[in-house]
Amino acid sequence: QVQLVESGGGLVQAGGSLRLSCAASGFTFNTYVMGWFRQAPGKEREFVATISRSPSSTYYADSIKGRFAISRDNAKNTVFLQMVNLKPEDTAVYYCAADRRSYYYSSSATTYDYWGQGTQVTVSS
């Protein structure tokens, strides 16, 4: 049974930091591109960051570039999202996702096969 379980969300003041984790099971983790997406209230789900199978390549949304960093530990079947200098507009439910088909990495939600249940990040001003 495929599972992606996010953790690490919470309430933080603007300028603060959080580190999200996503533990994967039920599939061969190192054969999947991984990504983070987020969805704020009343808005569509949007791309945040993605990382290639070997963690050599990453790609970020412009809105978070320089503040967020995606990484993965294939030995532990886990992907991370380190977030610093958080802003109120970063408030959203954050989802991790796994993509089997993309050759390198992907910023499109339609290419992802599996999704976690999400973790809430709230940034107060």
Strand 68-73 relative to strand 78-83, pairing:
antiparallel
What pLDDT, in 10s, does the model give residues 13-42? Answer: 999 999 999 999 999 999 999 999 999 999
Q: Summarize the confidence of residues 96-121 as an average pLDDT.
A: 96
Q: What is the pLDDT of residues 35-50, one digit of tens each?
A: 999 999 999 999 999 9
Region 87-116: mean pLDDT is 96
Pairing label, strands 46-51, 33-39: antiparallel
* Residue 124, pLDDT above cutoff 80: yes
Rounded-to-integer distance, Cα 91 and Cα 41, Å:
9
Q: What is the pLDDT of residues 38-90, one digit of tens each?
A: 999 999 999 999 999 987 799 999 999 999 999 999 999 999 999 999 999 99
Backbone φ and ψ for 62, nearest 5 degrees, come out as -60, -35
